[in-house]
Amino acid sequence: MSIRIHRKGAFVAVLCGALALPALFALAQTPRPADVTDNPFARDPAAPAAGQKIFDSTCAACHGVGATGGRGPNLTTGTFQHGGSDFEIFQTIKAGVQGTQMPSFSTLPSDDVWRLVTYIKSLSGQTGDLGVATGDGVAGESVFNANCTGCHEVSGKGLDLASDLSAAGTRPVAAIRTGVLHQMPVRRYPPPARFADVMTQDGKSLHGLIKNQDSFALVLQLTDGSRMVLDRDKLKSFTVGVELAPKDIGTKLSAKEIDDVVAYLSKQKGRDFARTSKVNPKPVLTTARIANRKAEPHNWPTYWGDYQGHHFSELDQINTSNVKNLQARWAAQLPGESVLESTPIVVDGIMYVSGPPGDVYAFDARTGLQLWYFHRRQDIKNPYQNNPFNRGVAVMDGRVFFGTLDDNLIALDAHTGRQLWEVRTADTLAGYQITGAPLAVKDKLIVGMSGGELGVRGYLEAYDPATGKQLWRTYAVPGPGEKGFGTWGGESWKTGGGATWLTGNYDPDLNLMYWGIGNPGPDYNPESRPGDNLYTDSVIAIDPDTGAIKWHYQFTPNDPHDWDSEEDMVLADQVIDGKLRKLILHADRNGFFYVLDRTNGKFLWAKPFVRQTWNEGFDKNGRPKINPKSLATAEGQVLYPATGGTNFQAPAYDHASKLFYVVYVDQQGFAQTAPVTYEPGKLFLGRGAGTGPAAPPPLQGVKAIDSATGDIKWDFPLTRGSLSAGLVGTRGGLVFAATAEGQFIALDAKSGKALWNFRTGGPMTASPISYAVDGKQFVAIAAGNQVYAFALPE
């Protein structure tokens, strides 16, 4: 492979950068209130020089002299990864950035931090007033479109080779001009983006921008916007070319044209979703392909892997004979304030995965090289939010969808990671959050919500994936005049819970979705909500076109134990009494394994898979006969199971063997209730403070259930129980299990024998998947704040 440097490129202007500050030094100051959000030194002419003294003495070691970059990012460009307002930069310095080398400086006096902010903003001309642009903005738009959109984008128009200028007008006019002319200081880190010419070993010539690279592979973005990931050892030649940012804009454009472009950009105050929502990205994944997932076993296109919820891969390259040779092939950090509960989606070699809330990543699924990253800062934070996690994304057509803790539903361009639209679906201060992965069905995006422990009224919604327009909303807790309303006493329906926080499944032949519904509220005080409390702790069959509930089955009426029924509704077809039946297989949190007819919701049979004392049998309609000695009382009563026999972690179902694999916890519980008063946005539990008598040690592990009989075929014990770490099955005769121990384990699907294990070193609160790229099978899992991908040796 030959390497040389030459010059070749096109006109661009770059406004980009990131923020991650190193150690800082405090100067003497007058104390100020801790809740000041406006920069008190923003217009102080002495503040930049004072801030520079702090920076030069302590920060330059990482960020370089003049903040042009070194071990830490370049801070002179005016765009910051963690927010560019004065207060956002102040918060970044004070709180640090978890998972990076940027520490917290919470004890640094606030005035010194504000002076640093002022200095940093001054490096890109962002101090003082915004100023007034003197050019013609209308004419400037024409100049920009003719010269700049080959690299830059403004609200959906242009490419993403260089920075997004949709919010350029939030910066001072002087800073915009500096960016247009590219007169920023020379930066050291990250190095300037460059074009490259590549010759592959088979003689194919490629020209594009280097978007990411390491010593073994690189991501090349071609002029049409597409990306290619290339192995360096498979290149015949690799020629590094000109920097992306040109040096001669001042001579290519007249003074008037520059003034006009600055005037145009000064009017851009943020991405205009009325325009970006009209962008129609090139399709990545259609719902027709999801429905025909059997033809694409190399992909993992939905949260559960398919519409049927099998969480099973037909790939068999990794099998019982060679799994002992499995190796970690790559890992990627997704830093943040919470560990990962997300299950990735893989489509045609690209992995889309959510990180801590607000973060979404796209990785090359073969090498782990990052393709793009999106962050949405939480606008509104409920101080009582209790589930700071995100469990995944949906991919549909050319868009990636996810939700935020403050109830923003967001659509991204799957190719670039840039935002196309967002809609606020609810009020997080009232307890509502979005933590689950949406589901793409037909021409709609189906979205649930969480907050069942905070006295919300649960619902399920459908949105237009192109525009974000709400198409329907169906409440999981009926209101006056709706079927099921009579199962709620008094006004209890208003705070009845029934969240829909985990992704459902879909039968295209019946055109029905199946969605598990969460616990009633308050969780442990059933006396305050007399009745069965429909549709909590139920599965509902929904028409995706209208949102109409076609039927329901309730697993635990008037639940006093927080046994929500969000667990996977596995769609399976089996012969029963000589007739092929369309079934739902479901291991519920209440400790029973259920088999239902999914055409009408009819109860067929159920059998416990862990110890249980709450149910004395079922009537002819499948209603449980509840043991009164298991109910929550003021004094408390012992029961099994405790917090649940299983939970939202993925089971796995093999249609060939009809084995249903599930992670279980078999533990004694104590049902005790207490009075509770509803306060909006706060926990609404009604749980007693007692722990009950001494309990025997819990049992936990992985079980294989014969779904035709409910018999346990094998049981692999674990040392620690989990209500979040799940499974994936493969045609290679394996069940891969994530564990609370941090061990990632491969089990023989027939016997339950452990064949391989890998100690990740981090807590595992997610479920694994399997996919293939270029004929190579991978198994991936999140552990702590890392995503790991495993494969066999070359």
Instruction: Choose, from 507, 562, 588, 654, the residue flagged as catalytic.
Output: 562
What is the spatial distance between Cα 419 and Cα 761, in angstroms, rounded to a whole number? 34
Q: Which of 623, 622, 475, 603 is nearest to 558 (CA)?
A: 623
Q: Using alpha carbons only, what angle is made at residue 571 by residues 569 and 574, rounded to the nearest 5 degrees?
A: 135
Q: Which single residue is written with the structure tokens 């979040």?
A: 724
Half-sphere exposure in the Cβ direction for 117 (13 Å, CA): 27
Token output for 689: 């403070």
What is the helix (H) or strand (E) element at residue 1, kind and residue range? none
Which of 592, 575, 568, 443 shows the shortest CA–CA distance to 514? Answer: 568
Q: Which of 716, 676, 679 is nearest to 700 (CA)?
A: 716
Output the CA torsion 225→230→234→240 (10° steps): 70
Closest CA to 391 of 261, 503, 471, 231: 503
- Beta carbons of 120 and 75 less than 8 angstroms apart: yes
Amino acid (1-letter code) at residue 166 = S
User: In which element (H, E) is residue 116 found?
Assistant: helix 110-122
Beta bridge partners of 575: 580
Q: How would DSSP label each residue in 683-702?
A: ----B-S---S--PPPEEEE
Integer Cα distance of 540 and 130 in angstroms: 55
Burial of 670 (0-12, 13-18, 19+ CB in 10 A): middle
Active site residue 231: no
**Helix/strand/coil (H/E/C) assignment for every residue in 351-366:** EEEECCCCEEEEEECC
At 758, phi and psi to the nearest 5?
Answer: -140, 125
- To the nearest 10°, report the CA torsion of 102, 105, 106, 108: -160
Q: Are 770 and 315 in contact (CB under 8 A)?
A: yes
Integer Cα distance of 96 and 24 in angstroms? 12
List of E strands, 102-260: 153-154, 157-158, 194-200, 205-213, 217-222, 227-231, 235-243
What is the Cα–Cα distance from 154 to 159, expressed in whole angstroms? 9
**Collapsed DSSP state (helix, strand, coil) of residue 168:** helix
Nearest to 278 by CA among 162, 447, 157, 439: 157
Query: Which residues does the annotation mark as catalytic?
Result: 562
